[in-house]
């Protein structure tokens, strides 16, 4: 598939890209508030969206943007982590975003990493039903792993996959090792929205920064759709866009 047929935008910096994404989210929130309807946002965790979180907090605290009509769903969670564990994704989101906004607690949805193995399937099915009950996700935010994963949909994931338990790839665990204080402390499994769940979103914004992401960004955009690169599934979506900084887009620019 030619690169020119894929939607991507190159920004001066991650900050400028995140300001653009935040502006789009704010516009949706205001439009839905005027109609007395919710805006449903799917959030990713990690370092990639931190500048976006800062911009959303600024819009709320300095410009009065209310998040009272916002419903949120988080992409994934490590298995074996309680919600209040400092290393859980729920704790990350509370610390970096939700503690600073007025999103009602009842509207914040997270997968739980501390549930018994016997209830994983039902918990994941309930999460899918909650997304449907909320009216579906309006904007889904994503990062991309260096092996091409989105959420925790590792290479080999199906485009038809739904929210489920997954085994984490070695490269994914290696990338998380510093945050956990060593590879041996990184969980081996997680819960994640599936690729089909992600693709159900009305709008998808994938953000990638830095030269380390250039190779996988190019592969996701330029190579054929394949389960070996789950991010390549995004090219089948009618309203997906990659937000990139110049280093992450370097290998694309050479082909334009």
149 given a catalytic annotation: yes
CB 7 within 8 A of CB 238: no
Catalytic residue among 154, 200, 241, 245: 154
Q: Is position 130 annotated as part of the catalytic site?
A: no
Catalytic residue selected from 69, 107, 147, 153: 147
Catalytic residue from among 55, 74, 76, 107? 76
CB atoms within 10 A of CB 151: 27
Token pair recorded at residue 184: 């041996």
Q: What are phi and psi of 230, to 5 degrees?
A: -55, -30
76 as an active site residue: the answer is: yes
Catalytic pick from 138, 149, 153, 200? 149
Of 159, 134, 143, the residue nearest 76 (C-alpha): 143
Write out the catalytic residue numbers. 76, 147, 149, 154
């Amino acid at each position: 598939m030619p690169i020119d047929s894929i939607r991507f935008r190159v920004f001066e910096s991650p900050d400028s890209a995140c300001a653009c994404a935040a502006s789009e989210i704010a516009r949706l929130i205001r439009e839905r508030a005027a109609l007395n309807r919710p805006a449903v946002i799917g959030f990713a965790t990690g370092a990639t969206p931190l500048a976006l979180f800062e911009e959303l907090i600024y819009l709320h605290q300095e410009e009065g943007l209310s998040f009272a009509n916002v419903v949120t769903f988080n992409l994934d969670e490590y298995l074996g982590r309680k919600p209040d564990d400092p290393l859980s994704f729920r704790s990350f989101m509370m610390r970096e975003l939700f503690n600073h906004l007025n999103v009602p607690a009842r509207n914040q949805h997270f997968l739980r990493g501390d549930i018994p193995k016997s209830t994983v399937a039902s918990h994941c099915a309930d999460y899918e039903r909650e997304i449907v009950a909320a009216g579906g996700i309006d904007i889904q935010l994503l990062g991309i792993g260096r092996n091409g994963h989105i959420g925790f949909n590792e290479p080999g994931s199906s485009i038809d996959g739904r929210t489920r338990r997954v085994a984490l790839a070695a490269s994914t665990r290696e990338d998380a090792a510093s945050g956990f204080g060593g590879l041996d402390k990184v969980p081996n499994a997680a819960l994640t929205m599936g690729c089909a769940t992600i693709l159900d979103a009305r709008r998808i914004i994938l953000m990638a920064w830095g030269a380390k992401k250039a190779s996988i960004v190019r592969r996701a955009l330029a190579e054929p759709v394949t389960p070996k690169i789950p991010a390549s599934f995004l090219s089948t979506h009618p309203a997906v866009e990659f937000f990139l900084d110049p280093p992450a887009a370097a290998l694309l620019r050479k082909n334009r």
